[in-house]
Amino acid sequence: MKKLFGSLCIVYGIALSSWFGYWAIKDNTALEQAVRAGSPQAEMRHRLNVFAEGVWFLLANMIVISGASLAMSGNKRSGVE
């Protein structure tokens, strides 16, 4: 059961990581354009978006790591018989 749940967490985390990574890259491109254009309001908006999407990207990767830990621990016995 742990292995199945861990595998589901890995798939879910990779999907979220891909989603937030895509939007972070897209907003980073918009941020660079706003900096070149000298638009302070658009620059601040995109800076906040890139920051927030970066945080969600890292949290999604933590889900992947937790899922991998669960998937790997499901194969071992507890040692107590």
- 2-40 pLDDT tens trace: 899 999 999 999 999 999 999 999 999 999 999 999 999
For 17, other C-beta atoms within 10 Å of its C-beta total 19
Q: Tell if the pTM clears 0.75, that is, is over it.
A: yes
The phi and psi torsions of 79 (rounded to 5 degrees) equal 90, -15
The phi and psi torsions of 71 (rounded to 5 degrees) equal -65, -35
**Domain ranges (residues) in the chain:** 2-73
pLDDT-derived band of residue 1, with 50, 70 and 90 as boundaries?
A: confident
- 31-70 in b/e form (b: 16+ CB < 10 A) is beebeeeeeeeebeebeebbeebeebbeebbebbeebeeb
